[in-house]
Amino acid sequence: MKTSARAHALPTLLAHAPAGITCLSLDCFDTLIWRNTNMPVDVFADLPLAGGGVETRMWGEIKARRAAPFQYDTDDVTIAQIYDHLMPDATDSERADLVAAELASEARHCFAFAPVRDLILDAKRRGMSVMIVSDTYLSEPQMRGLIVAVAGPEIAGMIDRIFCSCEYGVGKGGGLFRHVLAETGLSPAQILHVGDNKVADQEAPSLLGIHCVHFEQFTGDTEQRLRLEGAAATIVEPATRLSIPAYQPHRAALSLRVEDDPAFILGHDVLGPMMAAFADWVRGEADAMSARVGKPVKLLFLLRDGHLPRRVFDALHPDLVDRSLAIELSRFTAGAAGFVDEAAIERYLLPELGNGAYASLAKQMLFTRDEIAKLTHKASAKEFAKRVRSESNMRKIVSRSGRYAQRLFAYLRKQGVADGDAVMMVDLGYNGTVQNLVETALVQGMGLTVSGRYMLLRETFRTGYDKAGWLDIRNYDAKLLHGLSESIAIVEQMATLAQGSVIDYREDGTAVRQQIGLKGMQSDCRDAIQSACLAFVTHARAAMVRPPASDDSDARRRMGAAMLARLLFLPLESEVAVLRDFHHDVNLGTKDMVRLVDPEAAGEGLRRRGMFYAKNAMRLYLPGELQSHGLALNLSIFGSRRFGLDLRKTDFDVGAIQLPVLLMDDGGHVAIDIPAYPTAQGYYQTMIPVGAAQYAAGIQFGALYDWVQIEEASFHYVDEFMTPRAEENGMAAHPVVDAMIEQSAGLYSCTGPEGFMLVPPPGIARSDKPMLLSLVFRPVVARTTQAQVLLKEVA
| Distance, CA of 416 to chain centre | 36
Average pLDDT over residues 441-469: 95
**pLDDT number for residue 632:** 92
Model confidence at 315, pLDDT cuts 50, 70, 90, reads: very high
**pLDDT number for residue 519:** 41
Among 202-216, 405-419, 685-699, 758-772, the minimum mean pLDDT is found in 758-772
**pLDDT number for residue 767:** 67
**pLDDT number for residue 205:** 97
| 326-358 pLDDT per residue, tens | 999 999 999 999 999 999 999 999 988 888 889
Contact 114, 10 (CB under 8 A): no
How far apart CA 267 and CA 328 sit, in angstroms, is: 24
Of residues 94, 89, 116, the one with CA closest to residue 33: 116
Does 10 have pLDDT greater than 50? yes
Contact 75, 63 (CB under 8 A): no
Does 587 have pLDDT greater than 70? no
Q: What is the pTM of this model?
A: 0.92
Contact 65, 79 (CB under 8 A): no
C-alpha distance from residue 395 to each of 361, 391, 671 (Å)? 17, 6, 65
DSSP 369-414: HHHHHHHHTT--HHHHHHHHTSHHHHHHHHHHHHHHHHHHHHHHHH
Model confidence at 789, pLDDT cuts 50, 70, 90, reads: very low
Does 786 have pLDDT greater than 80? no
How far apart CA 164 and CA 82 sit, in angstroms, is: 16
Average pLDDT over residues 22-47: 97
Does 591 have pLDDT greater than 60? no
Q: Which residue has the higher pLDDT, 650 or 309?
A: 309
C-alpha distance from residue 352 to each of 360, 364, 381, 439, 448 (Å)? 10, 11, 10, 20, 28
| 215-258 pLDDT per residue, tens | 999 999 999 999 999 999 999 999 999 999 999 999 999 999 99
How far apart CA 312 and CA 278 sit, in angstroms, is: 9
Of residues 748, 685, 675, 682, the one with CA closest to residue 716: 685
List phi, psi (to 5°) of 593: -130, 140
Average pLDDT, the chain: 93
**pLDDT number for residue 516:** 64
How far apart CA 453 and CA 309 sit, in angstroms, is: 12
| Distance, CA of 25 to chain centre | 39
Strand partners, 659: 674
Model confidence at 305, pLDDT cuts 50, 70, 90, reads: very high
**pLDDT number for residue 593:** 59
Sign of the alpha-carbon dihedral angle for 384, 385, 386, 387: positive
Identity of the amino acid at 132:
I
Number of H helices, E strands in the chain: 34, 28
| 155-176 pLDDT per residue, tens | 999 999 999 999 999 999 999 9
Cα Rg, the chain, nearest whole Å: 33
How far apart CA 756 and CA 748 sit, in angstroms, is: 11
* pLDDT over 90, % of the chain: 83
Among 87-101, 119-133, 524-538, 608-622, the minimum mean pLDDT is found in 608-622
How far apart CA 181 and CA 188 sit, in angstroms, is: 7
Does 790 have pLDDT greater than 60? no
Domains of the chain: 4-217 (3.40.50.1000), 655-788 (2.60.40)
| Helix 342-352 × helix 381-388 angle, to 10° | 170
Burial of 623 (C-beta count, 10 Å sphere; 0-12/13-18/19+):
buried
Average pLDDT over residues 559-578: 97
CA trace torsion 264, 270, 272, 277 (10° rounding): 180
Q: Tell me how crowded residue 731 is: count the other CB atoms within 10 A of its CB.
A: 15
DSSP 95-164: HHHHHHHHHHHHHHHEEEBHHHHHHHHHHHHTT-EEEEEE--SS-HHHHHHHHHHHH-HHHHHT--EEEE
| 390-444 pLDDT per residue, tens | 999 999 999 999 999 999 999 999 999 999 999 999 999 889 999 999 999 999 9
Do the strands 449-457 and 467-471 form a parallel or antiparallel pair, or are they unpaired? parallel
Strand partners, 163: 133
Strand partners, 676: 657, 686
How far apart CA 500 and CA 484 sit, in angstroms, is: 26
Respond yes or no on whether the N-terminal peptide bond of residue 430 is cis (omega within 30° of 0): yes
